[in-house]
Structure 1
Amino acid sequence: MNNAYLLKSGRIIFAIGMMGLGIYCLVFQNFIVARPPGWKVPVSMLVAYTSGSLLVIASVLILFNKKAGIAALVMGAVILIFSVFKNFPNFGPDAVGAYKALAYFGAALIVFAASLPDDAGFKNRLLSDRNFSRWIFISGCVLLAAFFIIGGRAHFKWADGVQYLIPEYIPWRLFWTYFAGVCLFAGGIGLLLPPTRKLAAILSGVMIMGWVLLLHLPRLIYNPTDPDIRLEIFEATAFSGIFFFVAGMVTKRGALNT
């Protein structure tokens, strides 16, 4: 698959998902990216309007590829301050939300890395060094992989509950729960290995977009007033997009392509 197409489509899909999350911050008057512990009123309103507005603006800039590097840097800072730090006391092998916060931060790092060294806003010698952009990119992939591996573990540990997220019309729900867990493990490990990074990213992006179409949208049709389901759709859309974007950033042999 053409790298330029993967980069463009991944960037657009990621930006749409993140824009939806930013709008949700405004709607719910709290910061909801990776669902950190809530802030108390009226602090929650200030946090929501500030962070949500910044996320929406950054997402629009990324969507149209205008100062995307600076926009990704702002997005990453917002997620780091309002989600990663807020989730920090909860880090542990069962803290899926905390790892999700790190994954969103990693996604912002990846978009930032893609803008280097060519973005006119980054003329500093360090920022223009391809090794620097490569390590930023790898750091983002590691954070995404960690979330996938933890998520795969959760599919096994809480399989009895996770299976009911699958619509009833799909048979063998427990089997598909375990199968999804294996796929998450494989996707996470594949992202860590340069020779398999591109394939793992493409397959992970397809898998998550498939979940949107087969799981989240049917659940939304069945229960259209549930805000959590709409939130899940935006979350999955953003992750699907960043995986396609990652695939566009590497060659078939795993070398950084930007």
Structure 2
Amino acid sequence: MRDIRGLPLPGRQMLAAGLMGFGVISLYFSHLINGLQPFDAPQWGIWLNGAVLLLAGAGLAWSRTARPTALTLWGLLTLLLFTHAPGLVAAPGDAVRWVSAMEVLGLMSAAMLIAAPGRADLTPAARMAVGLMLVVFGVVHWMYVEAIAGMIPEWMPGRALWPWVTGAANIAAGLALVSGVMARLASALVGAMFASWILLVHLPRLLATPGDRSEWVACALAFALTGVAWTVHRALSQYGEDLQPSVR
């Protein structure tokens, strides 16, 4: 029986859905997506940003255009990542800036893997980059326990404990990816955790406040992060980049 490490998880499709979601949100609300734009833009720039995100997601969703789209996205996200550097240097303790930069790093890593599926030498770099992203996410969960707890549905028991649990899960998965030990299992499970938030957290909050742009962004981000984790999982499964001996 195959465990979750061997499942054909839809990483590219989830990533595509997240990017298309960003594009639609940007166009509908006429607002830039935080972290996915290098600077403030006029109205036409907001529309251009939204159109690019929407087209990028659509291009990734279609297998025939996935690789050239991912290659373009890889380049754009790499440039975007550099625009985050001055802010991080100026305010190294700003958790929001770090989260935004790590999200871009994760998206860039997934795009790289989709753009160059035959380049096994790129897999370790993507694995460690996404691992770093997850560690930062986990630390931020522990820094802002009350804010994270406020996002947990009231019907779930132990709301105050969930930020600690999810933070620990992010850190554990991140360290597994950075080290390569049980990396395939970690990427599969952390992606499943992100996917579960769509159903347990984001959709109920959207139903309660359908006009809240930030809730739509959070939901699209959950799709995108699920896609990032499962894209890494696919690459690790293909190339066997996992230092943990496993029984197959």
Matched, 1:181 2:178: no
| 1:141 alignment partner in structure 2 | 127
Larger mean Cα displacement after TM superposition, 83-92 or 239-248? 83-92
The CA deviation string for residues 117-143 of structure 1, in whole angstroms up to 9 with x for no partner, is: 6xxxxxxxxxxxx5xx33433333333
Matched, 1:87 2:84: yes
| 1:103 alignment partner in structure 2 | 103
Displacement of 1:30: 4.2
Q: Is the 8 A contact 1:62 1:72 kept in 2?
A: yes
Question: Partner letter of residue 33 of structure 2?
Answer: I
| 1:5 alignment partner in structure 2 | 8
Displacement of 1:218: 1.3
TM superposition outliers: structure 1 runs of 4+ over 4 Å: 1-4, 35-38
SS at match of 1:173: coil
Matches within 5 A, 1:1-258: 1=4, 5-6=8-9, 9-32=10-33, 34=35, 39=40, 43-81=41-79, 83-91=80-88, 92-116=92-116, 133-251=119-237, 254-255=240-241
Displacement of 1:168: 1.3
Structure 2's unaligned 5+ residue stretches are: 243-248
| 1:123 alignment partner in structure 2 | none
CA distance in 2, matches of 1:44, 1:67: 30
SS at match of 1:66: helix
Q: Is the 8 A contact 2:113 2:232 kept in 1?
A: no
Displacement of 1:178: 0.6
Q: Is the 8 A contact 1:23 1:56 kept in 2?
A: yes
Q: Is the 8 A contact 2:98 2:136 kept in 1?
A: no
Q: Is the 8 A contact 2:70 2:114 kept in 1?
A: no
Displacement of 1:180: 0.8
Structure 1's unaligned 5+ residue stretches are: 118-129
Displacement of 1:103: 3.3
Give the alignment's TM-score, normalised by structure 2: 0.82
In structure 2, the CA distance between the partners of 1:64 and 1:36, relative to structure 1 (3 Å rule), is closer
In structure 2, the CA distance between the partners of 1:152 and 1:239, relative to structure 1 (3 Å rule), is same
Percentage of pairs with the same residue: 25
In structure 2, the CA distance between the partners of 1:74 and 1:47, relative to structure 1 (3 Å rule), is farther
Displacement of 1:66: 1.9
* Cα RMSD after superposing both structures: 2.6
Aligned length in residues: 236
